[in-house]
Each structure stands twice: as C-alpha cells, then as structure tokens.
Amino acid sequence: MEPSRQQRRGQARERARLTERLFREGLFPTAGPPAAVILVRHLMGVLGRSGDGRRASKAADAVHRVFEAHLRVHPALPRLDCKRGCAHCCSLIVTAAAPEVLQLAASIRQGRAQEAAALKARIGESRAAAGHLTIGDMVRKPVPCGLLSDDACSRYSARPLGCRGHVSQSVEACLANVADPTARIPGSRPHGEAALDCKLALFAALKAARLPHRSYELNAALERALETEDAECRWLAGEDVFQGVPMDPTRTPEIEALLDRMIADASA
C-alpha cells in the first residue's frame, strides 16, 4: 500500500533528523540502516542536483565533514604522534576519489594566484618524479606530495580521506617506514574504519549517479584537474578527465556487490 501524505511527511522529517545527526556525530550506531547508508542517501541527493556544477566538490566536502564529526565525538581514540610540521607520511602514495581531487583543484584555483602557481609547479614536479610508475611501484618509491609547504599540508581542510585516515601512534615507526616501506606503522582503527566507510559511501553515491567510482593517484590527478578548464563540469558531464592517470587497481566483484547493497538500502 502506498504511504499516505502524512506518512511521507513523517518519513522526510525522520530522514532530515538523521542527516543532521550524521553531520553532528559522524557514523553513529543505529538500530536501522547503518549511518554510512544514511550518508549514501545524502550524497545521492547532492550528486542528483544536476544544475549544480560544483556538486562533486560538495559531495567530497560532505564526506570529509562526516569523517571529522565522527572523530570529534569518538570516545576512544588512541594517542597519536601526528602533529603539524611532521610530514613523513606525505611522501607515501595517496589515492583520492575524483570528487576529492576536483575539490582540491577548486580550492587551489580560488587561492592567491602566486600560491596557486607555486603549488601547480610543485604538483607537476611530484608527478614527474613518479614518472610512469604504477600505483604498486609508487608504494616502494616515496615522492613528496606537491601540496606540502614547509612540511605542512597547504590544503589541510580539503585533504582526501586517504590522508585523514592515515595517522600514526609512533613517529619512530614512520621514520622506519621511510627507510623500509614494508615496516608497519601503528595507526588508529577508528580513523581507518571511518575513512573506509566514508569512501565506500562516496563510491556508492557516485555509482548510483553513474559517475566513475575509482581512486586516482593524487598528484597526477590533481595536475590533470588543474590543467583542464572546467574540469568539474566536464567530469560531471561524462568526460573522462582523468584518462591515463594511475588508478587504484583494487576493485573486486565483492566491493561492487557491497556498493550495490548500499545503494539499494539508501534508495529504500
């Protein structure tokens, strides 16, 4: 039986309440669909605003805000050694979803012209240093990120989920990892899990919107976005702006099935 108008209004109010809670408390535990599914529903709404040429950047901003809210209220975060000026991890390979890359490119374009030119040059240098390496090879050949400035991230508030989820409880372990990329860094489970949940939610919403739901090597993708006029509008219109940029190779049928389930739950 079709829900009555009153039932539909009640459902809309409840959804608005859950979305508001999502941005206040992050991926809170629910008795119903997981909070990540509530996030997918919100992102599907953002990406569905076809007249908005900034909707990809806005979707990236939404997942980043949910991630930060989650950690702000998390009751049991480990003590971390990460602090401003410590940037060992910023030479490790970073991958980012296209909306995150487009958000960063927009943020650079909106900055001062002199700073934007300097960042573009450094991003180009980082991309050139990586040469034609695959993402797998880049893990073994650390290259400083082009967004680093005086050992700090010049776009910290827009940094991708890959950077947000990568934290360390031991700076000594980070130093050991610089010398030997197989050395383990003790991270933080809450950071890692929240980054994964947010990324899957973003991928599910992108898939639902029939947009590419892959991760790209950050510096190469950023260089491409910066050299492409109207990159976000063109990507949203279906142009493969990131063609040829090294892509995350890990995409299994199990992950696709998980994304399909998230889309179905978010659409219910």
Interface residues with ligand SF4 (CB under 6 A) are 90, 94, 145, 147-148, 153, 159, 163
Nearby residues of 48 by Cβ (< 8 Å), 6 or more positions away = 209
Residues in CB range of 139: below 8 A, 6 or more apart: 92, 93, 181
CB of 153 to ligand SF4, least distance (A): 3
| Alpha carbons 158 and 175: distance in angstroms, whole number | 25
Tokens of 206: 């992108």
Residue 180, CA distances (Å) to 79, 90, 135, 193 in order: 24, 15, 17, 25
DSSP state at residue 10:
H
CB of 222 to ligand SF4, least distance (A): 9
Least CB distance to ligand SF4 at residue 206 (A): 20
Task: Please answer whether residues 168 and 82 qualify as being in contact, where contact means their C-beta atoms are separated by less than 8 angstroms.
Answer: yes
Min dist. Cβ of residue 12 to ligand SF4 (A): 37
C-beta of 153 vs 176, nearer to ligand SF4: 153
Alpha-carbon gap, residue 212 to 202, rounded angstroms = 11
Residue closer to ligand SF4 (CB basis): 35 or 195: 195
37 or 98: whose CB is closer to ligand SF4?
98
| CB closer to ligand SF4 out of 94 and 247 | 94
Q: Which is nearer to ligand SF4, 42 or 166 (CB)?
A: 166
* Least CB distance to ligand SF4 at residue 198 (A): 15
Measured between alpha carbons, how far is 268 from 264 in angstroms, rounded to an integer? 6
